[in-house]
Amino acid sequence: MSKHIAIGVDIGGSGIKAAPVDLKTGEFTEERYRIPTPDPSTPDAVARTVAKCIARFSPGRKTAIGVAFPGVVQRGVVKTAANVDDAWIGTNMRELIRDYAGHDVYVMNDADAAGYGEYKHGAAHGRDGVILMTTLGTGIGTAMIVDGQLVPNLEMGHIEIDGQDAEIAAAESARERLGLDWDGWIKNLQRYYSEIEKLLWPDLIIVGGGVSKSHHMFLPHLTLRAPIIPAELLNGAGIVGAAAWAASEHKKAEKARKDDEKKAARKAKHH
Ligand code: BGC
């Protein structure tokens, strides 16, 4: 696999999706592969499925692979699992997937992946300033990119509004669960984004998730300070972002390893 290709995997509530991504263009180099998310979505079942998705594209030893997960991920370890099996909490996802796939991976939060993807190749391509990505799906995912730097694990879907977790009323899933028409949902969205703007003051807000395909139904009805625009990569943002982020982490790790080698060689020469 070429040096300019990395693999992205996006773990969602209903499907696990993967594709190789051209890092220069952000385009898939092969057709996306999807396997339904195992039920229950326990760590072993999901890791096995992720490994199957990875194997499909026969990555080379040096190919960077990024995996996006719908919860907080710190240094490879899952810390929260609002909409997936609780057994994930405390799991070292990086190690688990490495065991099943036989290949090192980088793992990150799904909204972080989507935000990074939109920054690299989508709606916020190359834009400086404070960019806030929000994904409206089963839950609300949020990510912040400041002058190109990702601030990981922003969990603004869980701010408290009217005494409850914001995503309960404003996520896309709330429409069906609460039986809301567009107007009803827009009211909840307005309340949510106004609160967000009070706290964060972003320069640009991007809205992703499946419902962003119907952005004309709700975005023009929101009154906010910052421009609010639909994501461009739609379903692909998580895959593209995970691949791009993995490639950049991989590069950093390689550089650190080479610097260490050089240092060790210099030291050996002086002794
Ligand atoms: C989780 C986030 C995730 C978002 C979208 C939220 O419930 O807490 O970590 O990014 O859902 O999947």
pLDDT digits (tens, 9 = 90+) for 207-220: 999 999 999 999 99
Q: Distance between CA atoms of 142 and 258, rounded to whole angstroms?
A: 35
Query: Is residue 115 within 6 Å of ligand 1 at its C-beta?
Result: no
Task: Give the CATH number, domain containing residue 181.
Answer: 3.30.420.40
Q: Which residues of the chain have pLDDT under 70?
A: none
**Do 221 and 133 share a domain, yes or no?**
yes
Beta-carbon count within 10 A of 163 CB: 5
Nearest CA to ligand 1 atom 2: 71
- From its phi and psi, is residue 153 left (phi > 0), alpha (psi between -120 and 50) or beta? left
**Do 106 and 86 share a domain, yes or no?**
yes
Q: What angle do CA 169, 90, 249 make, to 5 degrees?
A: 90
Containing structural domain, residue 14: 5-112+235-265
**Do 17 and 105 share a domain, yes or no?**
yes
**Do 227 and 239 share a domain, yes or no?**
no
* Three-class SS state of 92: strand
Asked whether residue 271 is assigned to any structural domain, the reply reads: no
**Do 9 and 108 share a domain, yes or no?**
yes
**Do 13 and 71 share a domain, yes or no?**
yes
Nearest CA to ligand 1 atom 4: 141
Query: Is residue 232 within 6 Å of ligand 1 at its C-beta?
Result: no
Query: Is residue 77 within 6 Å of ligand 1 at its C-beta?
Result: no
Query: Is residue 49 within 6 Å of ligand 1 at its C-beta?
Result: no
**Do 186 and 249 share a domain, yes or no?**
no
pLDDT at 270: 81
**What predicted TM-score, i.e. pTM, was given to this entire model?**
0.96
Asked whether residue 120 is assigned to any structural domain, the reply reads: no
* 256 Cα: distance to centroid of ligand 1 (angstroms): 31
Query: Is residue 83 within 6 Å of ligand 1 at its C-beta?
Result: yes
**Do 239 and 227 share a domain, yes or no?**
no
**Do 165 and 89 share a domain, yes or no?**
no
Number of independent structural domains in the chain: 2
* 47 Cα: distance to centroid of ligand 1 (angstroms): 19
pLDDT at 191: 98
pLDDT digits (tens, 9 = 90+) for 147-192: 999 999 999 999 999 999 999 999 999 999 999 999 999 999 999 9
**Do 159 and 174 share a domain, yes or no?**
yes
**Do 175 and 247 share a domain, yes or no?**
no
